[in-house]
Amino acid sequence: MLHFLLPKELHPIFDHIPSSALHVVGWGSVLPSVITVGRRLAFDEGKHEMIADLTPLLPAHVQFSLEHRRCQHHRQDDEADTHPGLINAEHLSEDEAERKRFGEAVLEVFFSQLFSEKGFFIDLREHGFSLDAEAIYWNPPNLWYHLEHNFRIGLLKIYEGYFFGPFSEVEAGLSDLGLFTEDHASNQKVVDLLLSHFGTGEQRDVLFEIEPFAESFEQFFDYLKAKNMQLDANFIYFGIYLITLYLCLDKLKVPLDAREAFTNARTRLAKENLDNQMDSAVS
């Protein structure tokens, strides 16, 4: 049912969302948000405001640009005539350095948006990006969502603890997401499933592949379904966000440094701001 309610731009993504995820996430929290997200897309609501809020969070070499999105609807030759050296990310060359440059920029955008209290653009697929020798230009579809504060901070705790420790920070983040209960064995299983998806904490040479990701995603939600856990809409939208990241990076076929991308976003957006947000979530 949800497949038919969400904007058509998101329909291809649902091939990678397990049915167990739709069972675990409560319909009561999803349906109102689906209407809101669809209305934003249909009537172009809030896009300029969201761009204004997110622009300071992006890395310096990534820019929002309405102009470059319009170019994507012309032939590649026309685009090259209008903007010499500009290519759409769907037409990257086989050059590994160029693919790594684009992929690591997308990864840093992924992490950077998690620091936004105002919301984030959900769709990271490559058709929204163009690039030249100096910069990467992004004009995403107007699909944006506002994660609840504690959920977003929980995600940041998980990434912070996973990449830098202590591991107790990961566990605190999982608790913030509502994934921990009084059942310690169940909690350990959630941790094990997370680690089977994440791999080692180094994450220096990660080949992002959609099929293994989708399999681990399914195992995770199958377990939550078996435990009769009920989650909220935040999980659906963050799940879609993750899937669009993997769909984009899978096509590059080059290893990427996830730890460095998170480090860059974390350093640039000031570690003390994260600490302040975490403190406010506790108080």
Whole-Å CA distances, 270 to 151, 173, 274: 20, 19, 7
Residue 79 has pLDDT above 70, yes or no: no
Closest CA to 274 of 147, 108, 121, 159: 159
The predicted pLDDT at position 276 comes to: 57
The predicted pLDDT at position 214 comes to: 92
- Write the CB contacts of 270 (distance below 8 Å, at least 6 apart in sequence): none
- Asked if 266 and 274 count as a contact pair (C-beta separation under 8 A), the reply is yes
Residue 86 has pLDDT above 60, yes or no: yes
What tokens appear for 277 in the block? 């947000």
The average pLDDT across 108-116 equals: 97
- Shared domain check, 157 and 254: yes
- Shared domain check, 154 and 61: no
Q: How confident is the model at residue 256 (pLDDT cuts 50, 70, 90)?
A: very high
- Shared domain check, 274 and 176: yes
The average pLDDT across 100-121 equals: 97
Domain boundary among 106, 123, 145: 145
Residue 242 has pLDDT above 60, yes or no: yes
124-156 pLDDT, tens digit each: 999 999 999 999 999 999 999 999 999 999 999
Q: Which of 2-11, 167-176, 261-270 has the highest mean pLDDT?
A: 167-176
Residue 117 has pLDDT above 90, yes or no: yes
- Shared domain check, 157 and 28: yes
39-72 pLDDT, tens digit each: 998 888 999 999 999 999 999 999 998 665 444 4
- Could you give the CA distance from residue 238 to residue 222 in angstroms, rounded to a whole number? 17
- Could you give the CA distance from residue 150 to residue 210 in angstroms, rounded to a whole number? 28
Residue 78 has pLDDT above 50, yes or no: no
- Shared domain check, 198 and 71: no
- Shared domain check, 152 and 265: yes
What tokens appear for 139 in the block? 């004009």
The predicted pLDDT at position 12 comes to: 82
Return the half-sphere exposure (C-beta side, CA atoms, 13 A cut-off) of residue 205. Answer: 0
203-228 pLDDT, tens digit each: 678 999 999 999 999 999 999 999 99
Residue 196 has pLDDT above 90, yes or no: no
How many domains does one find in the chain?
2
- Could you give the CA distance from residue 281 to residue 271 in angstroms, rounded to a whole number? 16
Q: Which domain holds residue 108?
A: 45-145
- Shared domain check, 97 and 7: no
Largest CA distance in the chain: 62
Using a pLDDT cut of 90, give the percent of the chain over it: 67
- Shared domain check, 58 and 38: no
- Shared domain check, 268 and 158: yes
Domain boundary among 101, 128, 145: 145
The predicted pLDDT at position 175 comes to: 96
- Shared domain check, 164 and 125: no
Residue 80 has pLDDT above 50, yes or no: no
- Shared domain check, 246 and 181: yes
The predicted pLDDT at position 70 comes to: 45
The predicted pLDDT at position 30 comes to: 83
Mean pLDDT of the chain: 87
If one counts every other C-beta atom within 10 angstroms of the C-beta of residue 7, the result is: 18
The predicted pLDDT at position 28 comes to: 76
- Shared domain check, 61 and 36: no
Of 1-5, 37-41, 95-99, 202-206, the range with the lowest mean pLDDT is: 1-5
Using a pLDDT cut of 70, give the percent of the chain over it: 84
Domain boundary among 145, 163, 187: 145
Residue 177 has pLDDT above 80, yes or no: yes
The predicted pLDDT at position 2 comes to: 57
Query: Three-state SS for 245?
Result: helix
